[in-house]
Chain A
Amino acid sequence: MATLHTRASARAMLSPAVLLLLAWMLIPLGMTIYFSLLRYNLLMPGLESFVGIENYQYFLTDPAFFDAIWNTLRLVGGILLITIVGGTLLALLLDQPIWGQGIVRLLVIAPFFVMPTVSALVWKNMLMHPVNGLFAWIADIFGMQPIDWFAEAPMLSVILIVSWGWLPFATLITLTALQSLDSEQREAAEMDGAGPLSIFFYIILPHISRALTVVVLIETIFLLSVFAEILVTTNGGPGTATTNLTFLVYAQALLQFDVGLASAGGVVAIVLANIVAIFLLRLIGKNLEA
Chain B
Amino acid sequence: MARELSPRRRATLTTAAWTIGFLIFFPVLWTFLTSFKTEGEAIAIPPSFLFFDWTLENYSEVQERSNYLRHAMNSVIIAFGSTFLGLLVAIPAAWSMAFSPTKSTRGILMWMLSTKMLPPVGALVPIYLICRDLGLLDTRSALVVILMLMNLPIIVWMLFTYFREIPGDILEAARMDGASLRKEITYVLVPMAVPGIASTLLLNVILAWNEAFWTLNLTADDAAPLSAFIASYSSPEGLFWAKLSAASTLAIAPILVLGWFSQKQLVRGLTFGAVK
Contacts and interface: CB of A to CB of B under 8 A. Distances in A.
A115 B1 contact: no
B17 interface: yes
Contacts of A108: 20-21, 24-25
A24 interface: yes
Q: Is the interface of A mostly helix, strand, loop or mixed?
A: helix
B34 interface: yes
Contact of A32 (B99, B125, B171): B125
A5 B114 contact: no
A262 B125 contact: yes
B270 A218 contact: yes
B251 A118 contact: yes
Contacts of B245: 122, 126
A25 B118 contact: yes
Interface stretch (A58-66, A73-81, A165-173): A165-173
A94 B248 CA distance: 29
B43 to A, nearest CB: 4
B267 interface: yes
B190 interface: no
B139 interface: no
B262 to A, nearest CB: 9
Contacts of B258: 113
A155 interface: no
Contacts of A269: 119, 121-122
B273 A287 contact: yes
B59 interface: no
A254 B90 CA distance: 33
Interface string B89-118: 110110111011110001011101111011
Contact of A132 (B18, B45, B108): B45
A122 B244 contact: yes
B61 to A, nearest CB: 17
Given A21-B153, A96-B5, A277-B117, A232 B125 contact: no
Contacts of A167: 24
Interface string B40-78: 001111110000000000000000000000000000000
A232 B234 contact: yes
B227 A117 contact: yes
Given A137-B46, A181-B1, A214 B275 contact: yes
Nearest to A93: B17
Contacts of A180: 276
Nearest to A99: B14
Contact of A134 (B47, B96, B108): B47
Nearest to A176: B267
B152 interface: yes
Contacts of A124: 234
Interface of A: 1-5, 7, 9-11, 13-14, 16-18, 20-21, 24-25, 27-29, 31-32, 35, 90, 93-101, 103-127, 129, 131-132, 134, 136-137, 140, 164, 167-169, 172-173, 176-177, 179-181, 183, 186-187, 210-211, 214, 218, 221, 224-225, 227-228, 231-233, 245-246, 249-250, 253-254, 259, 262-263, 265-267, 269-270, 272-274, 276-277, 280-281, 283-285, 287-289
30 contacts: A11-B96, A20-B149, A21-B152, A24-B115, A29-B122, A32-B122, A108-B21, A113-B210, A113-B260, A115-B255, A119-B27, A121-B233, A122-B27, A125-B244, A126-B34, A126-B244, A127-B27, A167-B24, A214-B274, A231-B231, A246-B120, A246-B213, A249-B124, A250-B124, A250-B217, A253-B128, A273-B118, A273-B119, A284-B110, A289-B106
